């Protein structure tokens, strides 16, 4: 169990406060703001029969041809597609600096770029592009930590050599939309798929056997716990870990003593996950904490996320590692409403999760002990939530609601609690779900019922770095990196490639939950101790990958986006902050290629002048520095992003083309 590094939040508190203060779920909330026109209101708050409720997702479905005859079927197919597909991305990590050295992308020999001066230069020069008009975000370097991870000191920030003034700057300026489109067309055919499937080599079969043994026949599930501040997330999960005996009595006794010393007795279970001094003193989770537990059929990697709006970047970092989520709701009168209404994190978290590709949700209606386990109140909350979640693109069948008390521990692992007479297992022996509720099911039962996603273990290896530490005791020059393996597998002594710096690295050890293992595969949260890398080349957001199939690095991408309820329309030249995995990058929307119908994904018009709120479109984005990414169609986890501006979420998107 550990906290990941706090990524300089304290050091740069002011910047963050500025950016996130009042961050509000406005982008999200506005989305559901009710002074909407009846049509817009209908679009977002529609019941399950309204096709438009899927509008948030429709843009991920392939565009349909405007053939009226197909309209009926098309509606169905889009809905199905939407249901299968996951939404696009989000990210937020306001401070980081990345390796800026741009090396020739020799990955895809078919990626035959047009001999464009700007692009050529960008391959060979340092940080080639600076879209003008961008506000500067303080650069941040990944924190190097001592391997015991107790040291949270921040290493000196890498000063990015600004190439803003380089002659290659703003290559898109002055480029006519038509020439951009022409180039898009020319390059698109060669970049439709950048990732080839790699058969699992015979020499991997032993390690796969080890992997299966490690899982003891269970499925691996990455679970994030989110919700409005003080909803009781840490208490709930801390108590669950105590009940499952993952946390022993001695540790719990220490937590109780410590909580009493700080005058925060009610936080004793939360202290299981809130381990830092500051978190304990303030009674607020600030960074993600991780733990592991087992159910009958699953090994669950738990991530407890902070609920406070100031720590949304950390919440996103946790959610980016998750397959499924628990959304914790405070059922007390007024508290649910505060979290759910404008400015509350319940909505923002739900939408961010969906945008990150999380589709299965357990809604834990918590603190039921404070409202005498009222069925009426529970049903009122379920009704409001389900209408909102459906309109946010969640499938009804993927959401379950459960009454809980994290503090008293009722309904966590033991069914048939006397207080829950209206929620008895005997009344529902076949575990039938009615209106999202499975009477008698405990929180643990529901976690056990979640479906793990398919793990792309046969694809080439990719791990997007979320943390960097300085390792000791393993060998000189060894650095520890951690993250969730997005695809493929890795073994001890394997040689891999760090992108974009192109350092060749050797994997000295692979650790899962502080235990050395011989191999790890897609879905595993790992720490890799690597040798051969210059630590100054290592940054959050870099990708360690298979040297035979290096991940592409891009500064210009084409993407399909869905726009939230923004106040100012998007125009060519709109500056954005591009949130991708655990990093963020400044950029600019340089070209509006198509406007799409957000419900059906149909083409509405080519080269629109602007894209307004709640619309969808295909755009071109130029980033200030390279990011390592994939097409969404190749690796979903590495093909989703979120666009934010001034601390507000503007749009979610998926990468459809890597232009350069
Ligand atoms: P952040 O991570 O800071 O967003 O908060 P959190 O959602 O993790 O809440 P936390 O677990 O820190 O709990 C906040 C307060 O709510 C503490 O005082 C808890 O004792 C209290 N609390 C949590 N769950 C329950 C519950 O089920 N019943 C009651 N009565 N109090 C609870
Ligand atoms: Mg907490």
Sorted by where each starts, the structural domains of the chain and their CATH numbers stand as: 219-449 (3.40.50.300), 462-545 (2.40.30.10), 553-659 (2.40.30.10)
Positions of the chain with pLDDT lower than 50, given as ranges:
1-194, 197
pLDDT the model gives residue 342:
64
Please choose from 3, 227, 235 the residue to mutate so as to test ligand 1's pocket, defined by most ligand atoms within 8 A of CB: 235
pLDDT the model gives residue 225:
97
pLDDT the model gives residue 375:
95
Query: In terms of C-beta density within 10 A (0-12 exposed, 13-18 middle, 19 or more buried), how is residue 121 classed?
Result: middle
CA of 283 relative to ligand 1 center, distance in Å: 9
pLDDT the model gives residue 599:
63
228 CA: nearest ligand 1 atom: 4
pLDDT the model gives residue 226:
97
- Measured by CA distance, the residue closest to atom 28 of ligand 1 is 367
CA distance 359 to 399: 8
Please choose from 329, 335, 374, 407 the residue to mutate so as to test ligand 1's pocket, defined by most ligand atoms within 8 A of CB: 407
pLDDT the model gives residue 311:
87
User: Which residues, other chains included, contact 271 with Cβ-Cβ below 8 Å and sequence gap of 6+?
Assistant: 238, 255, 258, 259, 280
CA of 233 relative to ligand 1 center, distance in Å: 6
CA of 306 relative to ligand 2 center, distance in Å: 5
pLDDT the model gives residue 224:
96
DSSP 207: H
Q: Kindly give the interhelix angle for 13-20 and 312-319, rounded to the nearest 10 degrees.
A: 80
Strands 399-403 vs 433-434: parallel, antiparallel or unpaired: unpaired
pLDDT the model gives residue 401:
98
Task: Please tell me the pTM assigned to this model.
Answer: 0.67
pLDDT the model gives residue 341:
78
CA distance 456 to 150: 33
CA of 433 relative to ligand 1 center, distance in Å: 28
pLDDT the model gives residue 201:
52
Task: Measure CA 418 to chain center.
Answer: 38
Strands 324-330 vs 360-366: parallel, antiparallel or unpaired: parallel
pLDDT the model gives residue 63:
39
Element (H, E) at 98: none
pLDDT the model gives residue 581:
84
CA torsion 169→171→174→176, rounded to 10°?
Answer: -170
Nearest to 571 by CA among 588, 554, 558, 596: 588
CA of 235 relative to ligand 2 center, distance in Å: 7
- Measured by CA distance, the residue closest to atom 20 of ligand 1 is 266
Helices (H) and strands (E) in the chain, counts: 16, 26
Which residues line the pocket of ligand 1, CB cutoff 6 A?
227, 229-235, 266-267, 270, 284-285, 306-308, 366-367, 369-370, 405-407
CA of 313 relative to ligand 1 center, distance in Å: 21
Ligand nearest to the CA of 407: 1
pLDDT the model gives residue 658:
95
405 CA: nearest ligand 1 atom: 27
């Amino acid at each position: 169990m550990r906290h990941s590094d706090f990524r300089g939040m304290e050091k740069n508190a002011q910047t963050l406060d500025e950016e996130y203060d009042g961050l509000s779920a406005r982008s999200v909330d506005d989305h559901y703001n009710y002074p909407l026109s009846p049509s817009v209101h209908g679009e977002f708050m529609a019941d399950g029969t309204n096709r438009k409720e899927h509008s948030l997702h429709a843009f991920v479905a392939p565009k349909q041809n405007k053939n009226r005859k197909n309209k009926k079927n098309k509606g169905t197919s889009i809905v199905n597609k939407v249901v299968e597909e996951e939404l696009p991305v989000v990210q937020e990590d306001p401070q980081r600096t990345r390796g800026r050295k741009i090396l020739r992308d020799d990955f895809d020999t078919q990626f035959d770029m047009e001999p464009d001066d700007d692009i050529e230069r960008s391959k060979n020069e340092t940080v080639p592009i600076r879209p003008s008009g961008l506000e500067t975000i303080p650069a941040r370097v990944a924190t190097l930590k001592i391997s015991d991870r107790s040291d949270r000191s921040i290493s000196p920030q890498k000063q990015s050599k600004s190439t803003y003034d380089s002659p290659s700057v703003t290559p898109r300026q002055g480029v006519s939309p038509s020439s951009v489109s022409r180039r898009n067309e020319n390059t698109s055919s060669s970049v439709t798929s950048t990732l080839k499937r790699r058969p699992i080599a015979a020499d991997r079969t032993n390690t796969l056997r080890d992997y299966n043994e490690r899982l003891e026949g269970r499925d691996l599930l990455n679970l994030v716990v989110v919700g409005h501040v003080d909803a009781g997330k840490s208490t709930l999960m801390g108590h669950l870990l105590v009940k499952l005996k993952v946390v022993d009595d001695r540790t719990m006794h220490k937590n109780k003593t410590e909580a009493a010393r700080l005058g925060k007795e009610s936080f004793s279970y939360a202290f299981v996950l809130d381990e830092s001094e500051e978190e304990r003193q303030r009674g607020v989770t600030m960074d993600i904490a991780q733990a592991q537990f087992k159910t009958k059929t699953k090994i669950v990697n738990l991530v407890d996320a902070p609920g406070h709006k100031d720590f949304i970047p950390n919440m996103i970092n946790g959610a980016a590692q998750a397959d499924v989520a628990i959304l914790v709701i405070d059922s007390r009168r007024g508290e649910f409403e505060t979290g759910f209404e404008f400015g509350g994190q319940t909505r923002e978290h739900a939408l961010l999760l969906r945008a990150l590709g999380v589709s299965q949700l357990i809604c834990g209606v918590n603190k039921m002990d404070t409202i005498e386990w009222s069925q009426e109140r529970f049903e009122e909350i379920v009704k409001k939530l389900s209408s909102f979640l459906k309109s946010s693109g969640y499938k009804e069948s993927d959401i379950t609601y459960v009454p809980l008390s994290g503090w008293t521990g009722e309904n966590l692992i033991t069914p048939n609690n006397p207080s829950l007479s209206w929620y008895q297992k005997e009344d529902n022996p076949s575990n039938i779900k009615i209106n999202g509720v499975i009477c008698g099911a405990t929180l643990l039962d529901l976690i056990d019922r979640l479906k793990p996603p398919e793990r792309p273990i046969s694809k080439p290896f990719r791990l997007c770095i979320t943390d960097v530490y300085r390792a000791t005791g393993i060998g000189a020059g060894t650095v520890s990196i951690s993250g969730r393996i997005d695809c493929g597998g890795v073994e001890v002594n394997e040689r891999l490639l760090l992108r974009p710096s192109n350092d060749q690295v050797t994997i000295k050890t692979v650790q899962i939950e502080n235990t050395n293992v011989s191999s790890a595969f897609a879905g595993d949260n790992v720490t890799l101790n690597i040798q051969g890398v210059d630590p100054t080349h290592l940054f959050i957001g870099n990708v360690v990958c298979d040297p035979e199939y290096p991940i592409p690095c891009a500064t210009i991408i084409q993407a399909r986006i869905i726009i939230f309820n923004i106040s100012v329309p998007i125009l060519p030249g709109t500056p954005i902050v591009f949130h991708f995995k655990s990093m963020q990058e400044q950029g600019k929307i340089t070209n509006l290629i198509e406007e799409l119908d957000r419900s059906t994904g149909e083409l509405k018009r080519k080269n629109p002048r602007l894209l307004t709120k709640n619309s969808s479109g295909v755009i071109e984005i130029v980033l200030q520095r390279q990011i390592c990414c994939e097409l969404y169609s190749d690796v979903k986890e590495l093909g989703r992003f979120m666009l934010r501006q001034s601390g507000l979420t503007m749009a979610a998107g998926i990468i459809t083309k890597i232009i350069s």
